[in-house]
Amino acid sequence: MDFSSSRILAQGVFVLLVLSSVAEGTEPRTILVGDSEGWRAGTNYTQWAIQNSPFHINDTLVFKYPPPGNSTVTQSVYLLPDLWSYITCEFRGAKVLGNASEGRDEGFKVALTELKSYYFASAEGNSYDCLAGLTKFTAVPSS
Ligand SMILES: *[C@@H]1O[C@H](CO)[C@@H](O)[C@H](O)[C@H]1NC(C)=O
Ligand SMILES: *[C@@H]1O[C@H](CO)[C@@H](O)[C@H](O)[C@H]1NC(C)=O
Ligand SMILES: *[C@@H]1O[C@H](CO)[C@@H](O)[C@H](O)[C@H]1NC(C)=O
Ligand SMILES: *[C@@H]1O[C@H](CO)[C@@H](O)[C@H](O)[C@H]1NC(C)=O
């Protein structure tokens, strides 16, 4: 490839990058937490959150998990009020976003409507997973 065609190619790549970042900024996404695996006990969601970042205002997270039964660990989703409660898994001031049965079928949606840190965690098993750093993540939408 000669110099001028590689320069044209580089410009084309640049234009694509700009277009995709513009599209990302204007089009809210609907994102399934944990992809096809959904919201599961004993799972590290930090990597998932990094891969799906950046989150943007008005993006919607979908939490899906099976209802209580014999074969699965009961699951739930809480929104913790701050970083400290997230780290220490102090659920007393937390808000239940989805109880054990609300993740069934299509799950439930949480819209990231504010420019703030959203701290999500499961409280099941006496917060065992949360304390182990699992089945929790932080989403910080940007504008
Ligand atoms: C987010 O959605 C609300 C309600 O639909 C809308 O008023 C607001 O402009 C949106 N914000 C952004 C940054 O798109
Ligand atoms: C759980 O297992 C018991 C005994 O195997 C069975 O009778 C019951 O229907 C099961 N419950 C659910 C919710 O699957
Ligand atoms: C979960 O919440 C729904 C709707 O508020 C309620 O009908 C249901 O009884 C709750 N289930 C559990 C297991 O707490
Ligand atoms: C979860 O994954 C993140 C990112 O890979 C890593 O930094 C962290 O140590 C992991 N946490 C646990 C409890 O394995």
**Residue 65 · residue 103 · CB < 8 Å:** yes
> What is the value of pTM for the model shown?
0.80
102 touches ligand 3 (CB under 6 Å)? yes
Whether the predicted pLDDT of 96 surpasses 80: yes
Going from N- to C-terminal start, the domains of the chain cover: 28-139
Measure 74 CA to ligand 2 centroid, in angstroms.
14
Amino acid at 61: L
- pLDDT value of position 16: 45
47 touches ligand 4 (CB under 6 Å)? yes
Q: What is the mean pLDDT of residues 88-96?
A: 97
> Rounded to whole angstroms, how far apart are CA atoms 141 and 114?
8
28-139 — its CATH code? Answer: 2.60.40.420
pLDDT, one tens digit per residue, over 23-69 is: 555 689 999 999 999 999 999 999 999 999 999 999 999 999 999 88
